[in-house]
Structure 1
Amino acid sequence: MKVSVIIPACNEADSLLPVIKEVQKMKPFEIIVVVNGSSDTTKEIAEGAGCRVVYYEEALGINIGRAIGAKKAKGDILLFLDGDIAVPHEELMKYTKAIETGHDIALNNLSWIMKRKVRPHPVSVAKYMLNLCLQREDLSIQALTAIPHAIKKTSAAKIGYENLAHPPLAHTIALLKGMSIVAPCSSDVIYTNKIRTTHKTIPTNSPFPISTNYIIGDHIKALAHLIEEKGIRGGLTDGDRNREVVSAYTPNVKRKTGVKYSAVIPAGEEKETIANVIKEVKKAGVEEIIVVANGADEVTVKRAIEAGATVLHYKQRLGHNVPRAIGAMYSSGEVCLFVDGDIVISAEHLRPYLEAADQGVDVALNNLECLLDEVHPIHSVSAAKYFLNIVCKRPDLTINTTTAIPHAIKRDVMEKVGYESLIIPPLFQLKSIMYGFMVQPVHFVDVARTNRIRKEHMKVKGLAASTQRILGDYVEAMAYYISQTSERGEFLPDIRRHDLLFEVLNNE
C-alpha cells in the first residue's frame, strides 16, 4: 500500500528538515507539505527536500492543512505529522503497518499521560470524556487531535475530508460508523511540542489559553454530533428513571413557614443505616427531614418514621435522583440538604453545608478535589464532572458537582432552575452556573470509599451500568448547554479557512 505523508507547516524553518528526513527513511510514496501563513523559508526547505508543496500565503487555521493534504494525497494510507516534531521513522512505520493489517485509523497511544501523578490537562479531560461518551473507555485519551496518526484513504473519504478539519468530530464519526481504531505506538509529542503564543495567550472571558479554547470547542462540536445522531443522552442509558412521577407530582400539603433547613433522603432497603442517617441530620440542626422511600422494605420505612422523619412512600423504585426532586418539592426549608439513606455522615460533617448556605453560597458542594491528587488515571465519572465544569468555564470546581452527596441548595435556586432538573444533577449544576448562582465546594466528605458496592457498579462488558447512566446525565446536560449556546458552546468561534478547504474539495 502506498503511503502519503501530510505535514501542515507554518514558520517551521528551524524544525521541518529533521521531520522530513525521518519520514524519508520510510520511503513513502509522497510527502505533502501544506505551507500556510509562513514568513520564513519553510516553503523553500520543503521544496529543496523534494516534497510536494501546497502553498497558501495566508494562514489556514488549525487542521485545515491536514484536510487539504488528505484530499490531495494519492496514497492508500495517510500519515499525518506536524512540522515541528520529528518522530523516529521506526515509530512512524507502526502506524502505517496498523492500516496495512486492516485497521481504519491508527492513533498515538498517549494513555501514559493520564497515569502521571499530576492533575490531567483540560484537553486530556475532553479527549477522555469524548471516548467515554462513545463507549470506548479503552481508547483512554487516544484521539485524532494528536499526531502522529494514520488513516486509510478510503476511510478518510467516508469520514468526510471536511470533517478532518475538526479531529474530535472526525473521531466521533469514525466510531459511529464502526471503524476499527487502534493505538499501535506511543510517540512522545508532549514534551517535544513547541510552545507557541496560542498556548500562553488567554482571551477575555475565559480561564483557558487560545489553543485550549479551540480544542474544547471542537469537542463540544463532536458531542453535538453525537447528540444529533443518538439523542440527548448520546445513546447512553437513563437507568430506568420514572421521570413522569415528578412531572405529575404536586405536594398534597402546603409548604410550612418558618422552616430554615430541610433534608431530603432517598431510601431503598436501608434498614441498617436509615435511623443513624436521620439521627446525624437532626444533630446537624435540620428541622424537617423527608425520607422518600421507594422500593423500600417495611423495616426501613418503620425505622425512618420512628426516627422522626416524614416518609413519602412509593412501592416501586423511582430511579436515581427522582426521589431527590420529589423530596425537594415537598420540603419547606429555605435550604435543602441532600444525603443518601445508605451512608451515615456525622453532624460535624453536615453542618458546613448549612453554614455555607447561611453565608451566601447558593449551591454548596462536597469538595472531592483531593481525589484528583490521589487517583491516577482519573476515574471516568470524575472525568465527566471535570469536563462539565471546564465547559462552564469553572475549572476551579474541578470534579465537584451535585452528582455527589452531601450538598445543600437554597430554595430560590431550586425554584429558578426547576425541581425537575434535580433528576439530572449535572443539568441542575449547569443551569445554576448559567443563571449566575454561587456554586462552591465547601467541605470534604469521603463518599467514594464509603459508598456501598452494588450490582450496577460492576463492569460486565464495557462501562458499568451506573457509569453509563451518570455519563448519560452529563451528555444530557451538554445537550441543554448546546441548545442554549451553539455547537461550540461559548468557546472561541471557528475562524478556520473552510472556504479554501471547500475550494479544494470541489475542484480536486
Structure 2
Amino acid sequence: MNVSVIIPACNEEESLQSVIQAIKKIAPFEIIVVVNGATDNTALIAKQEGCKVLTYEEKLGINIGRAIGAKKAKGDILVFLDGDIVVPFEELNQYVQAIKDGHDLALNDLEWTMKRKIRPHVVAVSKYMLNLSLKRPDLTVQAVTAIPHAIKRSAAEEIGFENLAHPPLMQTLAILKGMSVVYPCSTDVIYTNRIRNTHKTLVPNSPFPFSTESILADHLKAFSHLIHQKGVRGGLTDGNRNRTIVSEYTPTLLKKERCKTSAIIPVGEERETIHLVIQEVQKAGVEEIIVVANGSDEITISRAREAGATVLVYPNRLGHNVPRAIGAMYSSGDICLFIDGDIVISAENLQHFIRAAENGVDVALNNLECLLDQVHPLHSVSAAKYFLNAISKRPDLTINTTTAIPHAIKREVIEKIGYESLIIPPLFHLKSLLAGFTVKAIHFVDVARTNRIRKEHLKTTGLPQSTERILGDHIEAIAYLLNQTTERGLFLKDTRRHDILSEVMRDEN
C-alpha cells in the first residue's frame, strides 16, 4: 500500500526540512505540502526536498489544507502532519502499519495528557465529550484534531474529503459508519507544539483565543450531525423519565400563600437518611419542605411526614429529576432549594445557597471546581459539564451546573425558563445562562464522595446507565443551543476558505 503524507504549512522554513527528512525514512510514495499564506521560504524548501507543492497566496484557514492535500493525494494510506513538529519515523511507521493491518483510522494516543496532575485544557475536554457521546469512551481524547494520524484513502472517500476540513465531524462520521478507529502510538505534540498568535489572542467579547473558538465550534458542528442522525439526545438513554406527568401537572402556587424558601427533596428508598436530611433543612430556616416520593417504601414516606415535610406520593418511579419539577410546581417559595434524600447536608452548608439567592444570585450552584485539582483523569460527567459551560462561553463555571445538588434557584427564573426544563438539569442551566440570569458557584459541598453508589452507576459494558443518561441530558442541552443559534453555536462565523476547497473538489471530480 502506497503512502501519501500531507503537510499544511505557513511560514515553517525553520522546521519544515527536518519534518520532511524524518518522513522520508518511511519511504512514502509522495509528500504533499500545501503552502498557504506563507511569506518566507516554506515553498522553496518543500520543492528542494522533492515534495509535491500546492501553493496558495492567501491563508486557507485551519484544516482546509488537509482536505485539499488529501483530495490531491494518490496513496492508499494518507498520513497527516504539521510543518512545525518533527515526528520520529519509528512512530510514523506505527500509524502506517495500523492502516496496513486493516484499520480505517489511526490516531495519536494522548490519553496520558488527561492523567497529568493539572486541569485539562478545554480542547481536550471537547474531544473527550465527543468521544463519550459517540459511545467510544475508550478513545478518551484521541482525535483527528491532533496530528499525526493516518486514514485509509477509501475511508476518506467514504467520509468525504471535504469533511476532513472539520476533524471532529470527520471522526463522528467515521464512528457512526462503524469504521475501525485505533490509536497505535503516542506522539508528544503537546510540549513540542509551537505557540502561535491564534493560541494567545482572545476573540473580542469571548473568553477564548481564536484557535480554541474554532475547535469548539467544530465540535458543535459534529454534535449537530450526531443529533441530526440520532435524535435530540444523540441516541443515548433518557432513563425512562415520565415527562408527560409534568406537562399535565398544574402549578399550585396561585392557590397557596407565598413563603420565602421551599426545599424540594426527591426520594426513593431513603429510610435511613430522609429524617436527618429534613432536620438539617429545618435548621437552615426553610419554611416549606416538599418531599416527592416516587416508588418509595412506606417507611421512607412515614419518616418524611413525621419529620414535618409535605409528602407528594407517586407509587411508581417518575424518572430522574422529574420529581424536581413536580416539587417546584407544588411549592410556594420565592427561592427553591434542591437537594436529595440520600445525602445529609448540614444546615450551615445549605444556608450559603439560600443567602446567595437572597442577595441577588439567580442560580446558586454547588462549587465543585476543586475536583479538577483532585481527580485525574477527569470524570466523564465532569467533562460534560465543563463542555457545556465552555460552549455557553462561561468557562469560569468549569464543572458547576444544576446537575449537582445542592443548588438554589429563584422562583422568577424557573417561571421564565419553564418548570419542565428542571427535568433536564443541563438544559435548565443552559437556558439560565442564555437568558442572562446571574449564575454563580457559591460554596463547596462534597456530594461526590458522599453519594450512595447505586446499580445504575456501575459499568457493565460501555457506559454506566447513569453516565449515559447524564450525557444524553447534555446533548439535549446542546441540541437546544444549536436550534437557537447555528451549527457553530455562539462562536464566530467560519472564515475558512471553503470556496477554494469546493473548487478543488469540483476540479478533481
8 Å Cα contact 1:255/1:330 also seen in 2: no
Query: Contact conserved, 2:107 with 2:184, CA < 8 A, in 1?
Result: yes
Task: Say whether residues 1:320 and 2:314 are aligned partners.
Answer: no
What is residue 5 of structure 2 aligned with on the other side?
5
AA aligned opposite 2:316: Q
- What TM-score do you get using the length of structure 2 for normalisation? 0.99
Q: Residue type of the partner of 2:449?
A: R
Q: CA deviation at 1:499?
A: 1.1
CA distance in structure 1 between the aligned counterparts of 2:404 and 2:25, rounded to whole angstroms: 53
Displacement after TM superposition at 1:256 (Å): 2.8
Q: What displacement does 1:504 show?
A: 1.1
Tell me if structure 2 keeps the 8 A contact 1:357–1:363.
yes
The within-5 A match list for 1:37-56 is 37-56=37-56
Q: Matches of residues 381-400 of structure 1 in structure 2 within 5 Å?
A: 381-400=381-400
**Counterpart Cα distance in 2 of 1:13 and 1:192:** 16
| Counterpart residue number, 2:305 | 305
What is the DSSP-based 3-state SS (H/G/I as helix, E as strand, rest coil) of the residue aligned with 1:352? helix
Answering whether residue 98 of structure 2 is matched by residue 98 of structure 1, we say yes
Q: Is the contact made by 1:255 and 1:332 (CA closer than 8 Å) also made in structure 2?
A: no
* Number of aligned residue pairs: 508
- Residue correspondence of structure 1 range 41-120 to structure 2 within 5 A: 41-120=41-120
Q: Partner letter of residue 50 of structure 1? A: G
The residue that corresponds to 1:353 in the other structure is 353
Q: Report the Cα distance in structure 1 between the residues aligned to 2:355 and 2:365, rounded to whole angstroms.
A: 12
Alpha-carbon distance in structure 2 between the residues aligned to 1:205 and 1:190:
27
Q: In structure 2, how many angstroms separate the alpha carbons of the residues matched to 1:256 and 1:387? A: 40
Is the 2:284–2:350 contact (alpha carbons within 8 Å) kept by the matching residues of 1? yes
Partner-residue secondary structure (3-state), 2:386? helix
Give 1:332's aligned residue. Answer: 332
Name 1:411's counterpart in structure 2. 411
Contact residue 277 and residue 343 of structure 2 kept, 8 A = yes
Q: Does the C-alpha gap of structure 1 residues 253 and 475 become closer, same or farther in structure 2, counting only changes over 3 Å?
A: closer
- Dislocated runs of 4+, deviation >6 Å: none
Q: Give per-residue Cα distances to partners, 1:87-109, cap 9 Å, x unaligned.
A: 00110000000000000000000
TM-score normalised over the length of structure 1:
0.99
Are the structure 2 counterparts of residues 59 and 251 from structure 1 closer, same or farther at C-alpha, using a change threshold of 3 Å?
A: closer
Contact between 1:5 and 1:81, CA under 8 Å: does it hold in 2? yes
Are 1:78 and 1:153, in contact at CA under 8 Å, matched by a contact in 2?
yes
SS in 1 for 2:290: strand
Query: Cα–Cα, structure 1 residues 458 and 315, in superposed 2: closer, same or farther, change >3 Å?
Result: same
Deviations 1:193-240 (A, max 9, x none): 111110110011100110000000000110011000000000000000
1:427 alignment partner in structure 2: 427
The CA deviation string for residues 309-338 of structure 1, in whole angstroms up to 9 with x for no partner, is 111110000000000000001100000000
Deviation at 1:502, TM superposition (A): 1.2
Q: Which residue of 1 aligns with 2:284?
A: 284
Determine the structure 1 residue equivalent to 2:240: 240
Partner SS, residue 278 of structure 2: helix
The aligned counterpart of 1:17 is 17
Paired with 2:252 and 2:202, the residues of 1 have a C-alpha distance of 53
Q: What residue ranges of structure 1 are gaps of 5+ in the alignment? A: none
Q: Does 1:199 align with 2:185?
A: no
Q: Residue 409 of structure 1: SS of its match in structure 2?
A: strand
Whether the aligned pair in 2 keeps the contact of 1:217 and 1:489 (CA below 8 Å) is yes
Question: Does structure 1 residue 210 correspond to structure 2 residue 228?
Answer: no
Shift of 1:251: 4.0
User: Alpha carbons of 1:192 and 1:253: their partners in 2 closer, same or farther (altered >3 Å)?
Assistant: closer
**Aligned-partner SS, 1:83:** coil
Q: Does 1:261 align with 2:261?
A: yes
Aligned partners of 1:255 and 1:331 also within 8 Å: no
Could you tell me which amino acid in structure 2 is paired with residue 443 of structure 1?
H
Report the RMSD for the aligned CA atoms in angstroms: 0.8
Structure 2: gaps spanning 5 or more residues = none
Q: Secondary structure at the match of 1:428?
A: helix
Q: Which residue of 2 aligns with 1:468?
A: 468
SS in 2 for 1:474: helix
